[in-house]
């Protein structure tokens, strides 16, 4: 006589399916009608005596962007406007030269970053400053900063 059992772990997940020649009573062994490896990974429900499909792991939530992923959030015209605004004009008024210097500093900070976290205060302030300066359209800062981060644009490395 061959008996089949599902072996469960402490979380009631089936970790093994066994066939034994004699009956066994053990807290981690659940008798099953037939040997069925499809039970592996399923959760045993002691209340019903049935098995439930394995839980679906939640989709990863990415919080950091690669620098290229961050740049990709800006339209080509916006990137061009930012680059042009960063140029220094020695003949311009000091306020305009200071604004151009601020943009160059921001661009250098982005270029030297390992990744961009759009929720960090300095990242948000930088993009919002670009909007305030009219270099990106009204409302674009929040679109750029708060759009979900797709896997292809996510920085997943270590720092």
The model's pLDDT over 88-113, given as tens digits with 9 standing for 90+, comes to 999 999 999 999 999 999 999 999 99
Q: Are residues 79 and 142 in the same domain?
A: yes
Task: Please check whether residues 83 and 8 belong to one and the same domain.
Answer: no
pTM greater than 0.85 (yes/no) = no
Strands 29-32 and 50-52 come out as: unpaired
Nearest Cα to Cα of residue 131 among 75, 92, 87? 75
Residues 39 and 79 in one domain: no
pLDDT of 64-79, one tens digit each? 999 999 999 999 999 9
Q: What is the pLDDT of residue 158?
A: 85
Examine the domain organization and report whether 11 and 35 are in the same domain.
yes
Please tell me the distance from the alpha carbon of residue 33 to that of residue 144, in angstroms, as a whole number.
56
Quick one: 115 and 148 in the same domain? yes
Q: What is the mean pLDDT of residues 50-75?
A: 94
pLDDT, tens digit, 9 for 90 and up, residues 9-48: 999 999 999 999 999 999 999 999 999 999 999 999 999 9
């Amino acid at each position: 006589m061959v008996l089949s059992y599902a072996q469960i772990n402490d979380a009631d997940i089936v970790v093994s399916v066994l066939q034994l020649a004699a009956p066994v009573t053990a807290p981690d062994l659940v008798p099953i009608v037939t040997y069925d490896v499809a039970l592996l990974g399923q959760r045993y429900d002691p209340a019903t005596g049935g098995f439930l499909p394995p839980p679906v792991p939640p989709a990863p939530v990415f919080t950091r962007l690669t620098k290229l992923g961050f740049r990709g959030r800006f339209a080509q015209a916006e990137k061009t406007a930012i680059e042009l605004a960063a140029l220094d004009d020695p003949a311009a008024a000091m306020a305009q030269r200071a604004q151009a210097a601020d943009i160059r500093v921001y661009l250098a900070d982005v270029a030297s970053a390992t990744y961009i976290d759009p929720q960090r205060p300095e990242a948000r302030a930088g993009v919002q400053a670009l909007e305030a300066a009219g270099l990106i359209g009204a409302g674009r800062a929040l679109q750029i900063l708060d759009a979900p981060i797709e896997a292809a644009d996510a920085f997943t490395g270590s720092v």
